[in-house]
Amino acid sequence: MADRPGLAGRLRAGLGPDRVLDDTAARLVYARDASHLRLGRPLCVCLPRDTGEVAVAVRCCAEAGVPHVARGAGSGLAGGALPPDGAVVISLARLTDIREPPSGRADEILAGAGVANAALNRRLARRGRCFAPDPGSQEVSTIGGNVACNAGGPHCLKIGTTVQHVRELQWVDGEGGIWSSGRVGDGAPDIAALLVGSEGTLGVVTAAILRTLPLDAERAALLAYFDGLDAAAASVIELMGAGLLPAALELVDGDMLRIVEEAFAFGFRTDAAAAMIVEFTGAAAAVAADAERAAGLLARGGAEVVRARDERERLDLWRCRKRAFGAVGRLSPSYVSMDVAVPVGRLPEMTRRARAAGIRHRVRVPTLMHAGDGNMHPGVMYDGSDPDQIRRARAAADEIIAAALDLGGTVTGEHGVGLEKLHALPAQLDPVAAELMRGIKGVFDPRGLCNPGKAVSMGPGLAVSPPAPSAVRFDWDSFIVTAPAAADFGAVQAQARARGFRLACAAREPDATLGDLADSGALREGMLEVWATTRDGRDFHAGRPVSKNVAGYDLVRLVCGNGGALADVRGVTLQLRPAGEPVSESIPGVASPTWPPPERCRRALVSLFGGGRGA
């Protein structure tokens, strides 16, 4: 039973009187985030300055049996930071330390959970480097929030989402213990992969050692107008099928285009049915050549193509794109910012179904898309004071989610499940995958005090798993290949190269099977979907054939790279990349992680999958 009386006083004793807020105004402010959802009002708000103080706050909550909710900037769109009544909000806004990592690697940086994404990038730019994920809220969203939701952004098409740039995490468990996730690639179960995208439900991430990349030497942006949204969506497949890999490939429908133009007066054509932003980055000669090819392909497809004339115009273009939903909010303070993702080849069909849902339920649904990876953000607008409009908006949103699942997609690509999509999650998970996710929650948070009621459903999975692949099958429109674990890596790679592509992984062993490479971790960066059998004989399916998927805990990366200690892989879906594009290399783990690793959790995970007795 929760012991709330006196908890605020104990927190003040541990943190200091000025770092615990329990006045009405603070409790109201921290009861909200950037979503349009409501849950409860916190008991109080803690403002720790470092990991030790976060641990003190969590320990006080645990002793009282009171749930806690970690909060970054409150910029999440799925209600992931909303507290239940009487919970304690732990704000990480003051954990703003940035320093060199203990490893001394020039391509790494250690950042506190409260560091804003854009602030980190301004710091890194002084040395010619960057942290690649660029969510639309990057001026305010924090590293802790980026980790919590596995943030992506427009430019993750080429460089990947947050999980691909995390080397190690420091986190506080539900009882106040301080741990390391371990170094990615150290051969143990990948705790970092579980913490990334877990929305604070497994513990509080307080610091991250991140991979950084060199700043690109050159950038070129194109703006293309289309007379039809279907033609625009089809052009995405054509561009990437031609072997082009833009840094970003964004698409907005005509309704969203007009809303943005009304708000920002950029000079967009308002008579177009759709507009696309295509940006290339890299060496100057390659960027110029790729932009020229893309412009030609788009023009031949009937688009009007305009080039950004200089850096200022390019930046203005991106400012308008990243403020799109702010423009929607000017017209409709109440809207559902959706986040489905589908295989790229199904994008034209998904756009048709989203439009049909809006028409059927008589709601306005302006839409923008990270089109290159099939991630769609329909914005379902409604009047929050009109119960009938609320009902119709929810019905349209649910229909859009159902369409995405029907097309092989996910309920959420990058915003997270939070509260908003919790009801839809069981339809994506098979019974064993859902059971494993509940078990993972129990391993890390047995008392259920870490951000309860978010990210994972406590109910059964309802999805019927697709059959495990019995033969190699390429989907050239979606840039993926699905194959049994026994398939020969060299043969699959040869088929991909014959079409100008390659597998998006660092594996180099041509005689190995895909199952062998999954066990070794060599497929980690390109594995999207897995069919596997736990050590105690339970078959499950996890992931989707999409590159962005934050629906529940990441079982795909969890079973990859630990020698089959958790499960036997039976089949995989892998991402394809143009053959000339470099593939991200996984960095081997180091002998000593920066902070102590959670050996109890690792042993308990092995036990959960039927591989032995947990501690």
Taking only the tens place, the pLDDT of each residue in 355-406 is 999 999 999 999 999 999 999 999 999 999 999 999 999 999 999 999 999 9
So what's the pLDDT on residue 188?
Answer: 80
Residue 237 lies in a domain: yes
Distance CA 358, CA 400 (A): 9
Within a domain: 13? yes
Q: Is 491 helix (H, G, I), strand (E, B) or coil?
A: helix
Angle, vertex CA 346, rays to CA 345 and CA 347, nearest 5: 95
- Which CATH number fits the domain that encloses residue 577? 3.30.465.10
Same domain, 206 and 255: no
What average pLDDT score do residues 276-287 get?
96
* Mean pLDDT, residues 308-312 taken together: 92
Domain final position from 149, 183, 215: 215
**Domain membership flag for residue 34:** yes
pLDDT of the residue at 593:
67
Q: How far is CA 65 from CA 138, 446, 476, 558, in A?
A: 34, 12, 52, 30
Shared domain check, 204 and 258: no
Q: What is the pLDDT of residue 82?
A: 98
- 615 pLDDT above the threshold of 50: no
What is residue 590's predicted lDDT score, i.e. its pLDDT? 46
The total domain count for the chain is: 3
544 assigned to some structural domain: yes
Assigned domain for 447 exists? no
pLDDT of residue 505: 87
210 and 228 both lie in a single domain: no
Domain limit, last residue, from 406, 426, 441: 406
Where residue 585 falls among pLDDT bands split at 50, 70, 90? low
Co-location of 210 and 243 in the same domain: no
What is residue 183's predicted lDDT score, i.e. its pLDDT? 80
CB atoms closer than 10 angstroms to residue 577: 21
Tokens of 85: 């009544």
For residue range 531-548, what is the model confidence (pLDDT) as tens digits? 999 999 999 999 999 999
Domain membership flag for residue 81: yes
* Domain CATH number, residue 235: 3.40.462.40
pLDDT value at 591 more than 60: no
Would you state the pLDDT for residue 364?
97
Assess whether 331 and 317 both reside in one domain: yes
- 167 and 198, same domain (yes or no): yes
Q: Same domain, yes or no, for 392 and 312?
A: yes
What is the pLDDT averaged over residues 251-277? 95
Residues 179, 65 share a domain: yes
For residue 598, what pLDDT is reported?
Answer: 83
Do 53 and 118 fall within a single domain?
yes
* CA gap 424, 339 in Å, rounded: 12
Domain of 358, in residue numbers = 221-406
pLDDT of residue 587: 52
- The reported pLDDT for the residue numbered 397 is 97
The answer on 150 and 57 residing in a single domain is yes
Mean pLDDT of 301-315: 94
Q: Please state which of the ranges 317-331, 461-475, 480-494 shows the lowest mean pLDDT.
A: 317-331
State the pTM of this model.
Answer: 0.95
Do 461 and 432 form a contact (C-beta atoms < 8 A)?
A: yes
H-run or E-run covering 124: helix 117-125
Residue 78 to residue 479: CA distance in whole angstroms: 29
**Residue 603 domain flag:** no
574 shares a domain with 511: yes
| pLDDT band at 4; cut points 50, 70, 90 | confident
Residue 560 lies in a domain: yes
Q: Which tokens go with 235?
A: 């052009």
Write down which residue in 391, 406, 421 finishes a domain: 406
Report residue 498's pLDDT band, with 50, 70 and 90 as the boundaries. Answer: very high
120 lies in the same domain as 162: yes
**161's tokens:** 């989402």
